[in-house]
Chain A
């Protein structure tokens, strides 16, 4: 940059090549925002056109306009059913991840425990959520508890695996450095392993933010008369396709917001350049 200003910037401030580069960059940034929006709009338009021209009856699929009307008209019903799902998903997310982080810490310090119980954890995780859900409903009844438990179980595993990996995947020379400095195990954990695990942790948290919402909704399908999951079932049985679509939209909006909140937290906390984390 300095070289090009030396050549072309004869007291004029910004040289033309640099200005052109900046304009190109702005155009590119704009393109990247506008094009996806355009894609979504086209999708909605195609949807509207199909419903209109094929004369799809309203109990099979609604037109986007009707969905929008329903979103506004039934906003109170939608919101009052959103809150339980939010509480279940976020509650499960927090509990599941706290458990996972604690267990990962224990596993890293007690190899025998890890070798004994890690296979069991993998085994339990391999049971699909839809199969785990009824078991937890039987165990915990019909209230908030089973849904929180399902969301927690679903959040737990990716975090446990990634956290163990992040705590262990420490630069070997940094480990040697700690030994040269005669650091204690506790100091190595607090000054080295914990920070090292944060990028791994957040990549797991982003996954479990979305999946905890799935967990809560699946829990509500099985036994509940409130929440996004319950509303989905009710709307389906009532052939109220507009309400069904509106409910799904509200649920996804929450899921996306949750995901974005975690990504924001990551950007605020992990300010250094993390190594490439799968």
Chain B
């Protein structure tokens, strides 16, 4: 897709190659975070003493089996859930402050579009609520974001007229509105067919390179975790805890075909070992 034109506007002054990779600033830091849910039958420990951090502009994928608390972890960072113990810092502030300041964008597993709004109106929703009426100077408009995600010409379509992949693109555009520093994605491509999923993986990498947004991405696909991430945080279940944080030593520009290469396979094998390391 020809995307060259709107890209300059998406990240003014930060061309992809010169974007600072690690400027020392930490985007998200969790220290000894535990989350327990009390139910009638038992107390569930969703997260047990989880610590990790993501540098500014990083791309971390959270990989683990169901029940490992990876979605819970994302919700703690987004201030949708308070941890039972431990501290979370988002850009040096509390998650609540970060949320009120719109430093976070969230992409849900089902696109969570409002069915009575067109694609463009869905992307504009963040400007109508929460006291954030205007876009920051230089930030891309809803229309430009739809173009960024490859939906030019679909602005007036309602969600039921769009395919599952297109709905998820709208939801990504909505999360990017206002230029959040951090994008939290909760298995956004989990319900899509493999072909659509591959294409969106490729485009998400491209969007990340172009915007410089820090991304935390939850998935249970090993391939997706490696292809997308600069770091993979491997989680174990019952209780949810960190098993390993694996740096992905692959080039920044990645074609999908990289998944059939030797280095990729070595990382896959390593991650599978970590995943299987469960008692």
**Which A residues form the contact surface with B (CB < 8 A)?**
171, 173-174, 176-184, 187-188, 191-192, 195, 198, 270-275
Contacts and interface: CB of A to CB of B under 8 A. Distances in A.
Main secondary structure of the interface of A (DSSP, over half): helix
A192 B114 contact: yes
Contacts of B110: 171, 173
A270 B131 CA distance: 28
A183 B129 contact: yes
Contacts of A188: 129
A199 to B, nearest CB: 10
Interface string B122-133: 000110111110
Interface residues of B, number: 27
Contacts of A271: 116, 158
A272 B159 CA distance: 8
A177 B106 contact: yes
A180 B116 contact: no
Contact of B116 (A176, A183, A187, A195): A195
Contacts, number: 69
Given A272-B158, A273-B160, A181 B116 contact: no
A179 B129 contact: no
A272 B99 CA distance: 30
Nearest to A179: B80
Given A182-B131, A187-B130, A273-B158, 15 more contacts: A171-B110, A171-B112, A173-B108, A173-B112, A176-B80, A176-B108, A181-B102, A181-B125, A181-B129, A182-B102, A183-B130, A184-B130, A191-B125, A195-B116, A272-B160
A273 B158 CA distance: 9
A178 B158 contact: no
B22 interface: no
Contact of B108 (A177, A182, A184, A273): A177
Contacts of B114: 174, 191-192, 195
B106 A272 contact: no
